[in-house]
Structure 1
């Protein structure tokens, strides 16, 4: 495990569980995909609550909310800068680091800049406030 994990903006390879899979009773993501740790909250017991957003190469449908990943951010995160990438911001996985069975490799591949991550977090908070954030609980 990386000594600085978890930090907002870190991009990890994660078995992301889509909400539609969660609703069908699936408990495991079908494949490891780059995902961004967007929010880290530490509770009174010292547990790290993570909100993790998926990164995809598939252009999102018009009914989804996503942010294109600029080439500079892709390079920072050690993603392929030649691919078109999006961070999905209307859906996240919720996981608790100390109780997680899905966070196997806790070494980030890279990180997005603080400005880009704050933009993602602000959008996710807004979507959550509108009660339209899809959350798959991984605990």
Structure 2
């Protein structure tokens, strides 16, 4: 089976490494989970670089204040809540 070309909006299965896992010294996620591709770009070597965000129903362990959503986004492991409309 051929894989589709990575493009924003595509949902894939990926072994996402959470920050807490990396802090414990892990270098690979514990299980495959659905992740949304949010951006793709060409790397220096001509390869495709893909940025993904995990899709989860579990809320964050540490509550996030609304003011954190006002700053520029830099960390992919931050919690983002989306609502329709």
Aligned ranges for residues 108-119 of structure 1 at < 5 Å?
Answer: none
Higher strand share: 1
Superposition pairs of residues 1-139 of structure 1, within 5 angstroms: 1-2=2-3, 4-60=4-60, 61-63=62-64, 126-128=72-74, 133-134=75-76
| Per-residue deviation, 1:134 | 4.8
Q: TM-score, normalised by structure 1?
A: 0.44
Aligned-pair distance for 1:51?
A: 1.1
Q: Quick check: 1:37–1:52 contact (8 Å CA) kept in 2? A: yes
Per-residue deviation, 1:31: 1.0
Structure 1 stretches lacking a partner, 5+ long: 66-122
For each residue in 1:34-89, what CA deviation from the matched residue of structure 2 results, as whole angstroms up to 9, or x when unmatched? 00111111124211111110110113353288xxxxxxxxxxxxxxxxxxxxxxxx
Q: 2 CA distance for matches of 1:134 and 1:36?
A: 12
The residue aligned with 2:80 is none
Calculate the TM-score normalised by the size of structure 2. 0.68
What is the number of residues matched between the two proteins? Answer: 71
- Change in Cα spacing, 1:64 to 1:24, as seen in structure 2 (3 Å) is farther
Name the structure where helix makes up a greater proportion of residues. 1
Aligned CA RMSD, in angstroms, stands at 2.4
Q: Distance in 2 between matches of 1:37 and 1:53?
A: 7
Unaligned runs of 5+ in 2: 78-85
SS of 2:21's equivalent in the other structure is helix
Q: Counterparts of 1:54 and 1:48 in 2: how far apart (Å)?
A: 19
Structure showing greater Rg: 2
